[in-house]
Structure 1
Amino acid sequence: MKGLQTLRNEKGALSIEFLGILPFYFLFFLLLWQVVASGYAVMSLKSAANDGASVYAMTEDAGEAQTTVMQSIGGSELLANANVSINAQGNGAFTLTVSAQHPLVFIPAEWKKETAISLNSKAAGKVFVP
């Protein structure tokens, strides 16, 4: 009779249920962190493209614009292999394109190249220098 009473006792059941759901909480927060990191990478890339376009509009120097883009990206681990291209039209208008790889945050280092997401950002403008 005492053994049956012990089986029906729910003392500690909440702790067991919490331990069962704990891995899902960890997975949820890992995915949430990846979304935040990806959003930051996209915003950083767009900001770098805008900075490069501003410099090119003032100086019409592609090298200086590329340097500005690389400085704007900085040593970010969220953006790798950045590439800058400028397509200038004859009327002073131009389009600056920045492309980079965004490696996933919680992936082992040996898989980062294969799982990286390609990001592109464009900024258009007109050269102010006559």
Structure 2
Amino acid sequence: MKRYIKNEKGSQLIEFLAVFPMVVMALLFIWQVALVAYTVVVAESAARDGARVASVGGDYGAAVDRSAHGLEVSSSLSEGTTSYGKEVTVTVNATVPSIKIPLIGRFEHELKANASMPKEEEEED
């Protein structure tokens, strides 16, 4: 009996099987964080592109959709006046793509990005 108790054959496999789910969970968590970072960068870029197009009177919604290709986004435009003159602000709401992490579920979140640009005025002759 003592011979079987001191036998350590297969102990590495048991340790690996105990740790493997935690490694998988850590990798899925890291992937989800990368998706959030990607969404932040793309939403801010789409807001800037939309504001740039809106400042010259173009279709800001199409610019936002092209810039945020692959993400679910909605955008809105507001105009205001500052001490520098008129400006346009584009707000982009982007839904973060998520993966289903076992025991935790899905990460449901929406990010908001704003960008403002001075409004280009047409010069009169």
TM-score interval for Structure 1 and Structure 2 normalised by the shorter chain:
0.7 to 0.9
Q: Which amino acid aligns with 2:60?
A: A
Query: Does residue 85 of structure 1 match 2:76?
Result: yes
| Alignment partner, residue 93 of structure 2 | 99
Q: Which has the higher helix share?
A: 1
Q: Which runs of 5+ in 2 are unaligned?
A: none
Q: Identity percentage over the alignment?
A: 29
Q: Which runs of 5+ in 1 are unaligned?
A: none
User: Which of 7, 14, 24 does residue 5 from structure 2 map onto?
Assistant: 7
Question: How many aligned positions are there?
Answer: 116
Aligned mates of 2:36, 2:89 — CA distance in 1: 24
Query: Does residue 120 of structure 1 match 2:117?
Result: no
Q: CA RMSD in A?
A: 1.9
Query: Does residue 60 of structure 1 match 2:54?
Result: no
When normalised by structure 2's length, the TM-score is 0.82
Q: Spell out the pairing of 1:12-91 with structure 2 (5 A cutoff).
A: 12-57=10-55, 59-61=56-58, 64-74=59-69, 76=70, 79-80=71-72, 82-90=73-81, 91=85
Aligned mates of 2:63, 2:88 — CA distance in 1: 16
Aligned mates of 2:42, 2:51 — CA distance in 1: 14
